[in-house]
Amino acid sequence: MKNLFDVSGKNVLITGAGRGLGLGYAHTFAAAGSRVFLAGRHQPQIEKIAGELRAAGGKAEAVLLDVTSSDSIDAAVSFVMGYGGTIDVLVNNAGYEQVADFTEVTRDTYDKIMAVNLKGTFFMSQAVAKCMKQTGGGKIINIGSLGSFLGLRQSSVYCATKGGVVQLTKTMALELGAYGIQVNCLAPGYFITPMTQAFYDDPQHRAWIESRIPLARWGTNEDLAGAVLFLASAASDYITGETIRVDGGWLAG
């Protein structure tokens, strides 16, 4: 049974790995023995994290990546393939949010959020899937949100992108399954990250959020470790097109 969840030696590419949940995924996979490729726009930041993971005994490399640029995606994928020979797992974690009332959302804000959360996920997955088809398969893990399932005030564009990620996951699963590629989505609830820090720091907003969570607390990186390892391992080989919600029970009500 232990071997079902073994991801040691796998090459894992994580976008948006420089902070927040992406950084948590990087620590999870490094501790599990994977070779982690930390992809992000800020090279000094991801180089520092990769160095820290190596110093702790892990295998980690920094990869410069802007998911809104086709050239950057191609260069990053080429680097990982040249270094490791395969991309066994892709975690599409890169995300962007800019809160605004629906009537105040500008075209520029709309385009920026869409470019990272949906378009970036689409074309990052496309580039990696082409490699996985040639190397015998793999796992693609898209990252959703509570906003994949319900509306959140001042997050109209974000929710539209995250709802799209769930639908994209399903269609990718249909098309890529024949090549041994499983595509699933992980949808975290409220976790303390740079994106949600302002909500956590606002006592009234924080109390409202915690009142909606049956487990009565915000999530931690450790709360996501089991789910992401499951989706990356042989334990999920017959699961594709699904979304696992890790939200403390928020959506149960």
- Which residues are known to be catalytic? 158
Q: Are 87 and 80 in contact (CB under 8 A)?
A: yes
Q: Are 63 and 80 in contact (CB under 8 A)?
A: yes
Report the distance separating Cα 241 and Cα 112, nearest Å. 26
Copy the structure tokens of residue 202. 């606002």
Copy the structure tokens of residue 167. 């639908």
Report the distance separating Cα 154 and Cα 135, nearest Å. 42
- The rounded Cα 243 to chain-centroid distance in angstroms is 12
CB atoms within 10 A of CB 34: 25
CA angle (169 as vertex; 165, 174 as ends), nearest 5:
150
Q: What share of the chain is helix, strand, coil (3-state, %, to 5)?
A: 55, 15, 30
Question: By three-state DSSP, how is residue 104 classified?
Answer: helix
